[in-house]
Amino acid sequence: MSERVKCSAPFVAYFLVGRSIELSLKAFLFARGEKINRLKRKYGHDLSKLIFESRRRKLGREVKLTRNQLAAVKLLSAPYSHKLLEYSEVGTYRLPYYWVVCEVASGLLNGLRFYCYKATFNKEFPISQIRKIGIV
C-alpha cells in the first residue's frame, strides 16, 4: 500500500492531489450545510477528519470509495496536513501509491460536481454547459 520517497511522483504532485481531495470534501460538507469558518477551524487540512465526517454525512450516496482508497487518503493525511509535502523536509515518509490517491481525487471531483453545484446555486447544472465543457 505504500512506497518510499523514491516513488515515481514528486512531493509536489502528492501535495496537489491532497489539495484536490481536501477541497472536494470541504465542498461536499459545505453543500451539506457546514459553515465555512467551521470547516477551517474544525478540520483544517486533516484529510482523515474530512473523509470521516464526509462519510458520516453520506458521501457514499454520491461517491463510492473502496477500502484501499480510504486507507490511501488516511496514509496521505499526516504528511499532507503537516505540510511535509508542501515544503521540502528531510526524512522518510510513508506515502500511498500515487495512482490510488489520483483515483480518489478524480472520483470525488466527478462524483460531487453536480451535487455541489445544485446545493450552491439551488438549481441543476445547465445541460448546455455540460455539453460545452465536455463533461458528458
Could you tell me the sign of the dihedral formed by the alpha carbons of 13, 18, 21, 26, in that order?
Answer: negative
Q: At what angle do helices 98-121 and 11-31 cross, to 10 degrees?
A: 30
Cα–Cα distance between 2 and 78 in angstroms, integer? 14
pLDDT at 125 over 70: no
Place of cell 484529510: 47
Per-residue confidence (pLDDT) for residue 126, from 0 to 100 = 61
Q: Are 29 and 39 in contact (CB under 8 A)?
A: yes
SS3 122: coil
pLDDT at 115 over 50: yes
Cα–Cα distance between 1 and 44 in angstroms, integer? 25
pLDDT at 134 over 80: no
Q: What is the mean pLDDT of residues 111-117?
A: 90
Question: pLDDT digit string (tens) for 18-60?
Answer: 999 999 999 999 999 999 999 999 999 999 999 999 999 999 9
pLDDT band at 70 (very low <50, low <70, confident <90, very high): very high
Question: pLDDT digit string (tens) for 75-112?
Answer: 999 999 998 888 767 777 889 999 999 999 999 999 99
Among 133, 130, 124, 115, which residue's Cα sits nearest to residue 25?
A: 115
Cα–Cα distance between 70 and 96 in angstroms, integer? 10
Q: What is the mean pLDDT of residues 111-130?
A: 76
Per-residue confidence (pLDDT) for residue 4, from 0 to 100 = 43
Per-residue confidence (pLDDT) for residue 136, from 0 to 100 = 46
Residue 126: CA atoms inside 13 Å, Cβ hemisphere, count?
Answer: 5
Per-residue confidence (pLDDT) for residue 44, from 0 to 100 = 94
